[in-house]
């Protein structure tokens, strides 16, 4: 299981403590996960995430920075740029060429986000209203993905107004969606 932390996982693990998402007990430092390369706007960053082990259920968890999505070698901001470019009408090949990414990867991200668009819009709308009950209405656009990005952007803007600008907008969006922008969403039913 992967958890999201700030930039200093060691300090968070040994300080106030990080709760296990499975049972709620505190995690203790437990070595490091494998080294990984993550593509962001500043180029490729190499990181070696901290691993924590639950004192209760003994499960280990990888502690990723908030800017990372699970099982992706890019930051959430890069994924967000791909989705916004698609909403603006760019083809997946053009987006891939502009960002130096494989076209099949970009097409897959767009397909997954489009499949999750209704759920993403719902997450964005709920968070926008929770953070600012007087926010402007979120009007429909011409696509489901456009509606989702508009709702998530409205929520991120509401969070910035209420909480300050210390967290980048795409990291806030990742938090609102529990880092599931590109993950399969369980459907009721």
Q: How do residues 95-124 score in pLDDT, each as one tens digit? A: 999 999 999 999 999 999 999 999 999 999
Determine the Cα–Cα distance for residues 114 and 57; give it in Å rounded to an integer. Answer: 37
Residue 175 and residue 146 in contact, taking contact as beta carbons nearer than 8 Å: no
List the one residue out of 47, 56, 51 whose CA is nearest residue 20: 56
Assess contact for 48 and 35: CB atoms under 8 A: yes
Q: Structure pTM?
A: 0.84
So what's the pLDDT on residue 76?
95
Domain extent listing, the chain: 2-65, 76-176
pLDDT tens digits, one per residue of 31-76: 999 999 999 988 899 988 888 899 999 999 988 888 888 888 999 9
**E strands, 92-164, in order:** none
Taking residue 58's Cβ as centre, other Cβ atoms within 10 Å add up to 11
pLDDT of 17: 76
Is residue 10 pLDDT above 80, yes or no? no
């Amino acid at each position: 299981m992967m958890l999201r932390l700030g930039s200093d996982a060691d300090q968070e693990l040994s300080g106030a403590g990080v709760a296990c998402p499975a049972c709620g007990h505190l995690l203790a430092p437990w070595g490091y996960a494998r080294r990984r390369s993550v593509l962001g706007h500043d180029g490729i960053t190499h990181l070696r995430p901290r691993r924590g082990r639950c004192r209760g259920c003994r499960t280990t968890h990888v502690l990723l920075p908030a800017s990372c999505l699970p099982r992706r070698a890019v930051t959430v901001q890069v994924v967000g740029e791909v989705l916004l470019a698609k909403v603006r009408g760019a083809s997946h090949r053009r987006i891939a060429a502009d960002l130096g990414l494989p076209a099949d990867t970009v097409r897959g991200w767009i397909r997954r986000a489009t499949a999750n668009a209704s759920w993403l819009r719902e997450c964005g709308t709920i968070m926008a209203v929770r953070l600012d009950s007087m926010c402007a209405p979120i009007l429909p656009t011409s696509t489901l993905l456009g509606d989702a990005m508009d709702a998530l952007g409205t929520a991120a803007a509401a969070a910035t107004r209420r909480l300050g600008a210390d967290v980048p907008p795409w990291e806030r969006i990742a938090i609102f969606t529990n880092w599931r922008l590109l993950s399969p969403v369980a459907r009721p039913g």
